[in-house]
Structure 1
Amino acid sequence: MAEHTRRRIAVIGGGRSDEHDVSLASAAAAVRAVSANGDEVVALTVGRDGRWRGTGREALPTAVAVRHLTACDVALPLLHGVDGEDGAVAGLLTMLGLPFVGSPVRAGALAMDKWATKLLAEAAGIATAPAVLVRRGDDVGAPPLAPPLVVKPTTGGSSNGVTRVATGADFRTAVAAARAAGEDVLVESFVAGREVDIALFRDRDGLLRAGATLEVGVAADGVFDRDRKYDGTAEFTVPARVSPVEHAAVDRAARLLYAALGCSGVARFDFFVTADGIVLNEVNTTPGFTEQSQVPRMYAAVGLPYGDLVTELVEAALAERGAAGSDGTVS
């Protein structure tokens, strides 16, 4: 076996979004895995105030944080939500010339905007729920679609601000809850079906590798909200209980979207499996990444445990950078 070349890997967690604590948990798990794999960790945190902090939680001037980053071989950013997953951190790392695990600016920005993702998916022939975009200043006196509905922020994560609306009387309150987590609001017809997720990443050899499908057990109201996502009561079935035809449809649609969005690193694609076929729910380009999060469970089920998944993602990021020409394009 070839001797392992020790690399310096920056793991970035925290962020200014309402997913700060989730991001810290993802980053802590990644730090453990990188250390266990024999690599050097440079742990950096973005505080809720936007200031950088180092391993000892000391505040770092931005210039110092940049020096820490540029002294690394590769970065593993795990900033969920706005000002991170939406392409912000990808833009920073690209400008610094530092290889990183994850999607580039365009893919992060498009996937973070659920309305933009919906338009792209429909153009690719992938069904989504009927929906209306409600912007600031639009009338919210009556729902634009017949209930039941799901109301959510277009750029929110971790199921923040998501409400199922059973009657028109609940609509205004649901919009207010969504706006508390993001400015624009997506109003969707409720889809009756089972949520089935799949994850993809492109490895160092260019092969697009899928994890096992995962089925999310939801509450009686059919909504997988933030509380159930993180309080330990959510039920995950891996692999999902789907037929070969349903599995093929989910896999095909995810691969189409991975390419259409221009994803890199690992991304999770969430679908509803209904009697009439599959319906896209959303795409997550920086999914939760603790050992017990959905994506690591999906890959563990196909024989790729957490530490090996981290290694594969790092190797792929380095290989992708090595395949780029001097002008930044892939040769």
Structure 2
Amino acid sequence: MTDSITVAVVFGGQSGEHEVSLVSAHAVMSNLDPARYQIEAIGIGKDGQWWHGPGALAKLMAEADPARLPASAAQVAAGPVHALGRVGAPGWELPAADVIFPVLHGPYGEDGTIQGLLELAGRPYVGCGVAASAVGMDKGLMKAAFAAAGLPVLPWVLVRRSELADESGLCARLEAALRYPMFVKPANLGSSVGVSKVRDRAELLAGLHEAARYDRRLIVEQGIPAREIEISVLGNDEVVASIPGEIIPAGEWYDYHAKYIDGGSQTIVPADLSPAQITQVQELAMRAFQAIDGAGLARVDFLLDRDQGTLWVNEVNTMPGFTPISMYPKMWAASGLSYAQLLDRLVDLALERARR
């Protein structure tokens, strides 16, 4: 093991996607080649407390909300663990590692905050840098970047939580700009947490208040009858895209329950698209990745209008799910890159980016 690479996998976090992160991290740690890597487990509790040791994942799993744990969650062996404290507390220190793999979803993990900490600490890490992570997390900034790059984006409106003080005026403004149905989302969250599909003013108000529980910045998007197409992107300056996949949600749309809890959603890889559509999806995905100055990895999501056949860029996920049912590794596996090989490539890209 003298030539092995020490990879510190960081998981949990203080976002609404805490439970998804735990399952993603378990899959990552189970698939890192033990002949090549020495693994350090670092968990972040919902209270901001950091934990280090083989038992860190089991500890956070035991404290997780069972109702939010994905159906693919597995039993995790217990082990020793010790508290690192909170960032900035006396004695807090990031454990030594050659590469940090922040398997964190949502705010305080996927939004540039952890990335900034690692930059200051001079630690190589997997995934996008500070700016790309921040822009990729904030749907308002992301859509503005996409529009500036000439990418096709559905009509949308940015709403601030403070605007809910005038509910009638806000609803009138949204109804003038968009038509029902609409989707209301927290700007800085993923896994469909806090997202609502709304069909009238009463649902619009309820959706705005639900999204405002999670963020002060909200996005209201035009809803269309659409197929949900996804594709994986990999690389730093030289970027490649996988074959695309399609999501068939268990419910009316792909919400958190349909993604992780219900188990009835279907994933089709490869998606049933024409060669021209596949090429278009791949080219748009790479352009979207480059529009935010992405690095390492991302999953780019599209909406394919069932009536018009138009392809719209929906969003980019700079640290997509790595659970056993997640699309990002599935699409690479179907493209000829196994889960273990994908992890190797991500570690190599992190080291390459750090050298540059």
Q: TM-score w.r.t. structure 1 length?
A: 0.91
Per the alignment, residue 167 of structure 2 pairs with 140
Alpha-carbon offset, residue 292 of structure 1:
2.5
Cα drift, residue 317 of structure 1: 1.1
Q: Deviations over 1:186-242 (max 9, x none)?
A: 111102221101111117xx6422222110113563x21000000222111001111
Partner of 1:239: 270
Q: Superposed, which structure 2 residues align to 1:87-106 within 5 Å? A: 87-106=112-131
Contact map agreement 2:24 2:321 (CA 8 A) in 1? yes
The more displaced of 178-187 and 28-37 is 28-37
* Distance in 2 separating the partners of 1:265 and 1:303: 18
Runs of 4+ residues deviating >4 angstroms: 62-65
* Alpha carbons 1:35, 1:41 under 8 Å: kept: no
Q: Is the 8 A contact 2:33 2:340 kept in 1?
A: no
- In structure 1, the partner of 2:189 is 156
Separation in 2, partners of 1:159, 1:299: 23
Q: Deviations over 1:271-314 (max 9, x none)?
A: 01122421111110010012331101011101111111101110
Report the secondary structure of 1:23's partner residue. helix
Check whether the contact 2:242–2:282 (CA below 8 A) recurs between aligned residues: no
On the 8 A contact 2:302/2:312 being kept in 1, the answer is yes
Residue 101 and residue 123 in structure 1: after superposition, are their counterparts in 2 closer, same or farther (change >3 A)? same
Q: CA deviation at 1:15?
A: 0.3
Per-residue CA distance 1:147-198 (angstroms, 9 max, x = gap): 1111111112110111111112211111111111222211111022211011
Q: Aligned AA for 1:9?
A: V
Q: Which segments of 5 or more consecutive residues in structure 1 lack a partner in the other structure?
A: 325-331
- When structure 1 is superposed on structure 2, of 261-270 and 137-146 the one drifting more is 137-146
Residue correspondences, number: 316
User: 2-side partners of 1:12 and 1:64: how far apart?
Assistant: 19
Structure 2 counterpart of 1:226: 256
* Alpha-carbon offset, residue 320 of structure 1: 2.1
Q: Distance in 2 between matches of 1:57 and 1:154?
A: 35
Alignment of 1:5-20 (within 5 A): 5-20=3-18
| Secondary structure of 1:316's aligned partner | helix
Asked if the contact 2:227–2:246 (Cα under 8 Å) also holds between the matched residues in 1, the reply is yes
Change beyond 3 A, Cα 1:182–1:37: farther
User: For 1:78 and 1:220, how far apart are their aligned partners in 2?
Assistant: 27
Give the residue type in structure 2 aligned to 1:229: K
- Per the TM alignment, residue 146 of structure 1 is displaced from its structure 2 partner at its CA by 2.2
Equivalent of residue 152 in structure 2, options 111, 120, 127: 127
**Maintained 8 Å contact 2:11/2:44:** yes
Distance 1:34 1:219 in 2: 31
* In 1: Cα distance, 2:342 partner to 2:227 partner: 27
Write out aligned runs for 1:153-302 (5 A). 153-202=186-235, 207-219=238-250, 221=252, 223-231=253-261, 232-274=263-305, 275-302=308-335
3-state SS, counterpart of residue 36 of structure 1: coil
TM-score normalised per structure 2: 0.84
Counterpart in the other structure of 1:329:
none
- C-alpha distance in 2 between matches for 1:168 and 1:67: 48
Match of 1:53 among 43, 51, 64: 51
Equivalent runs, 1:20-35 vs 2, <5 Å: 20-35=18-33
* 2:93 aligned to which of 66, 69, 76: 66
Cα drift, residue 121 of structure 1:
0.9
Q: CA separation in 1, counterparts of 2:4 and 2:154? A: 47
- Counterpart of 2:341? 308
Equivalent residue number for residue 328 of structure 1: none
SS at match of 1:298: helix
Residues of 1 paired with 2:225 and 2:2: CA distance?
Answer: 49
Partners of 1:17 and 1:65 lie apart in 2 by 21
Per the alignment, in what secondary structure is the counterpart of residue 102 of structure 1? coil
Kindly provide the CA deviation profile for residues 21-68 of structure 1, in whole angstroms up to 9, marking residues without a partner as x.
111111111112225353111110111111110123421134665341
Counterpart residue identity of residue 41, structure 2 = A
Q: Distance in 2 between matches of 1:75 and 1:67?
A: 10
Which residue of structure 1 aligns with residue 37 of structure 2?
39
- 2:62: which partner in 1? none
Q: Which moved more, 1:120-129 or 1:76-85?
A: 120-129
After alignment, is 255-264 or 34-43 more displaced? 34-43
For residue 117 of structure 1, what is the amino acid of its counterpart? M
What is the DSSP-based 3-state SS (H/G/I as helix, E as strand, rest coil) of the residue aligned with 1:137? helix
